[in-house]
Structure 1
Amino acid sequence: MMIEANQLYKTYSIVEKELGLKGSIKAFFHPKKKQIHAVQNISLTVQKGEIIGYIGSNGSGKSTTIKMLTGVLYPDRGSVKINGLTPQKHRTAVNKQIGVLFGQKSHLRWDIPVLESFILHAKIYDVPDKVFEERLEQLIDLLQLGDFIHQPVRNLSLGQRVRCEFAAIFIHQPAVVFLDEPTIGLDASVKETIRSFIRFMNKEHQTTFLITSHDMQDIESLCGRIFIIDKGKKVYDGSLTKLREKFSTVKTISFKTQTPIEELFQINGFRFEKIDSYHFNIHYQTDIYTNAQVINQIFDHYSIEDLAIKELTIENIVKQIYEEGLDE
């Protein structure tokens, strides 16, 4: 097992402060603390060669979990093992087996050419010269780095820099890679380059990936399994296919009205979602209502300018889970 997390808990204490100077003085002398339960009873196992999507809304506990898995934070309770080793106790050994890419943390030196950062990375991880040369050649080819590998990092575009960051974390050929929002801010072509690279490393080297992303295309195109966390607790752990099957009876119709609507006419069995005063979504169970029945109800109550039946995406499913929870 490459990742084993058992009943993880992590709680933070924050000082609650009233507004203004008086509030600041009061908080300094008589601080009032509030407990934030960032992670509560999270257990997770990931096998060698698996690609798992670890998803949740902002503040759900994703980053805190990854920091515990990589040894940056100690859990208050519970245990973590990476390929049989405890990250907090065997930091050096674990660091040689993992690669971590966080959005704000760079593996590259800002003012020196990219290649020199790669050489330094190889020295830090004791990668033999011949092995480094072979890996570098492959990474340059897969990530299309040839045109800018001799440029300082400060001169690179975001897409170029992210590709170089990926190359850096694979110079020591990690067995487990943690990616936090790996494609955020990238254009479509660079996103596909990154996704293709992840698929290649997974197939060729059985690299295990744990990916957090708000871009559901990352999750859908790469992950066979997803783990959904909300308010620090597990909501779902299983395959994308089974999650889709669970919601396969739910359909959505999107419509636009000719005049603004402030208050919707409620219809039993339908869930309305207001986008703005003209645009709405209606969600319904296909095992209860046919498309024709729903469309007729919409036209009976509203003056419609446009209407479309929408395919249920994983993004829609996850959004619904955040809003309504998930029935077991």
Structure 2
Amino acid sequence: MGINVEHISKSYHVVRREKGLLGSVKQFFHPHYTIINAVNDISFNIETGKIVGFIGENGAGKSTTIKMMVGILTPDRGTIRINDEMVGVNKKKIAYQIGVVFGQRTQLWWDIPIIESFRLFKDMYRIPDQEYKENLDIFQEILGLNEFMNQPTRHLSLGQRMRADLCAALLHNPSVLFLDEPTIGIDVATKEKMRNFIREINRRKLTTVLLTTHDMKDIEELSDELIVIDRGGLIYQGNLQNLKTRYGGMSTITLKCCPETAGEIQKSVSSKEINCRYDDALYLVFDKKKYSAQEVLRDMVNQFTFSDIQVEDSCLEDIVKKIYYEIDNGGCI
């Protein structure tokens, strides 16, 4: 059960443009193509009930992979199964098992009230009356839909539309939810509502969620596991905490102090492998494998006065940047 992806690949044939009028005429009669490998032999498994972050740089192949998983595109090679059903073989059966939200597109009807769009989905998916009512009541409560249920989609803000799209994708109780940039461009308060909603639906219904986003806070707050792809290939699948342990080995201590104190501290740690930077506060960056925060601070707190002390580990965004930097420079993970 869950999602099983085995050795999928997808390439595109893109017309190679020739220069000038003569080149355009030649291209019209005898076009030449360049092959773009968008996805190259990717395999992974997602267990039922997991929330998995799916990340990569722009052009890495994320959207192409999701479109193959939901049946919009057909892989050149490989197979995709959702709850043991082969994607592309029985499209109707797969459609009942999945919900999809694309942040840049809406599945709602543009000129009719939101509630009417929901009723159309009820008829399309043949949702029983009681199930439809129960789901709609839950979604309205958590997502706060009541204020705009009778407005047409074209009158909604982006945040309101995204909440309505999320509701529409889950009305038929799909076992798998695909989210492609669901929080793009929306405000902090709406993001938090959507995160709470995704967590709650996952808890109540054990819905499997594949989340694609460039917002690392979405990944950190929601995901159990992480899949990282780059240039069409899989470079990491595993526990989010394991990735942090492996690549997030740096900690930062922020000390609020005067410039004179900062200068004295910089001198005192010059013999250690601690990076110092002063900008209204003193920032000490060190390897957690070599020093603990207590060891770094032990002598300082006895000698100097600070108005504030903060200790932070590397955030996921810094870790992902480090991974891409290593890959760009010929490394691997």
TM-score (norm 1): 0.82
Q: Which amino acid aligns with 1:245?
A: T
- Is 1:316 aligned to residue 324 of structure 2? no
Give distance in 2, aligned partners of 1:17 and 1:178: 35
Name whichever of 123-132 and 177-186 sits farther off: 123-132
Q: Which amino acid aligns with 1:121?
A: F
Within 5 Å, give how 1:35-50 maps onto structure 2: 35-50=35-50
Three-state SS of the structure 1 residue aligned to 2:52 is: strand
Q: What are the ranges of 5 or more consecutive residues in structure 2 without an aligned counterpart?
A: 255-272, 276-282, 294-309
Q: Which amino acid aligns with 1:318?
A: V
Q: What are the ranges of 5 or more consecutive residues in structure 1 without an aligned counterpart?
A: 255-269, 273-280, 292-307
Give distance in 2, aligned partners of 1:9 and 1:24: 31
Give distance in 1, aligned partners of 2:135 and 2:120: 14
Q: 1:28 to 1:253 in 2, by over 3 A?
A: farther
Q: Which amino acid aligns with 2:212?
A: T
Give distance in 1, aligned partners of 2:117 and 2:208: 24
Give the total of aligned pairs: 298
Give the drift of 1:24: 2.3
User: Residues 248 and 313 of structure 2 are in contact (CA less than 8 Å); yes or no, is this contact kept in structure 1?
Assistant: no
Three-state SS of the structure 2 residue aligned to 1:123 is: helix
Three-state SS of the structure 2 residue aligned to 1:147 is: helix
Give distance in 1, aligned partners of 2:312 and 2:131: 50
User: Residues 79 and 87 of structure 2 are in contact (CA less than 8 Å); yes or no, is this contact kept in structure 1?
Assistant: no
**Which stretches of structure 1, 4 residues or more, deviate above 6 A after TM superposition?**
281-284, 288-291
Per-residue CA distance 1:30-50 (angstroms, 9 max, x = gap): 322111111111111111100
- Among all aligned residue pairs of Structure 1 and Structure 2, give the percentage whose two residues are the same amino acid: 43
Give distance in 1, aligned partners of 2:290 and 2:132: 61
Look up the match of 1:198. Answer: 198
Judging by fraction of residues, say which structure has more helix.
2
TM-score (norm 2): 0.81
Q: 1:126 to 1:311 in 2, by over 3 A?
A: same
Name whichever of 5-14 and 128-137 sits farther off: 128-137
Q: 1:15 to 1:284 in 2, by over 3 A?
A: farther
Look up the match of 2:179. Answer: 179
User: Residues 42 and 234 of structure 2 are in contact (CA less than 8 Å); yes or no, is this contact kept in structure 1?
Assistant: yes
Look up the match of 2:89. Answer: 89
User: Residues 226 and 238 of structure 2 are in contact (CA less than 8 Å); yes or no, is this contact kept in structure 1?
Assistant: yes
Give distance in 2, aligned partners of 1:290 and 1:163: 43
Name whichever of 309-318 and 213-222 sits farther off: 309-318
Q: Which amino acid aligns with 1:316?
A: D
Q: 1:50 to 1:287 in 2, by over 3 A?
A: closer
Look up the match of 2:143. Answer: 143
Per-residue CA distance 1:257-310 (angstroms, 9 max, x = gap): xxxxxxxxxxxxx9x9xxxxxxxx99875657999xxxxxxxxxxxxxxxx997
